[in-house]
Homo-oligomer: A and B are copies of this chain.
Amino acid sequence: MRADARKNRDHLLAVAGSAITEQGVDVSLRDIARRADVGLATLLRHFPTREALLDALLRTSFDELTAKAVELESSGSPEDALLSWLRDCVGWTTEYRGVTVLMAAAIEDTQSALHASCVTLRAAGARLLTRAQAAGVARADIDGADLFALIAMLAWLGDQSALAPRADRLFGVVASALLTNPGERDPQTPG
C-alpha cells in the first residue's frame, strides 16, 4: 500500500472511531469522510461497506474478547468464567451503539465483512458454555447460538435509552436462568 493511502486509511479509522462513539454505528459515511477531509469515494475505496469499516475498527476488540474466552476456559470455575465473559461481551457493545443489529445480521450473512468475527466469537462462547454444562452449572437445553442470541438481546437493551437503565438488572435475571439447570439438580446422574 502506498504511503499516502496508508495514511488516509489510518486517519479514516481514527475519525470513524470518534464519530461512531458519538453517534453510533449508523453515522453517515459521508460525514466521516468530511471530518477526515477526504472524498466519500476514498472512504469507500478503503472500506467498500459499512461492515468492512466496522470490522477494521472492531478487529482488536473482537480478538480480545475471543482471547479472553480462551483464557477463561482454563481459569476460575466454569460458572464464573461463563458469567464474566458474558458481562464483558455485553459491556463491550455499549461502546458501539447499534452494533448488535449489524452483528445479528452478519452472523447469517456469509458475505458480510463482519461474518467471520461473529462466528469466531460465537464459537468462543460456545466452548465456555459447554464447559459449564459439563460441570452441571448451566442449563443443558441451550447451545452456542442460543448464547449468542442471549448476548445480543442484552446488548440491544443497552442501545435503547429507555430500556438501558434496566439492562443491569435484566442481565442478572437472564444470567440466573442460564445458570440454573431446571429439573436436573444432580450433575452426576445423567439419566
Contacts and interface: CB of A to CB of B under 8 A. Distances in A.
Contact of A101 (B148, B149, B160): B160
A116 interface: no
Interface of A: 101, 104-105, 107-108, 139, 141-142, 145-146, 148-150, 152-154, 156-157, 160-163, 166, 169-170, 173-174, 176-178, 180, 182
A149 B139 contact: no
A89 B79 CA distance: 33
B178 A107 contact: no
A162 to B, nearest CB: 4
A182 B176 contact: yes
Given A169-B141, A180-B180, A157 B153 contact: yes
Contact of A169 (B142, B153, B156, B163): B142
B150 A108 contact: no
A161 B152 CA distance: 13
Contacts of A166: 145-146, 149
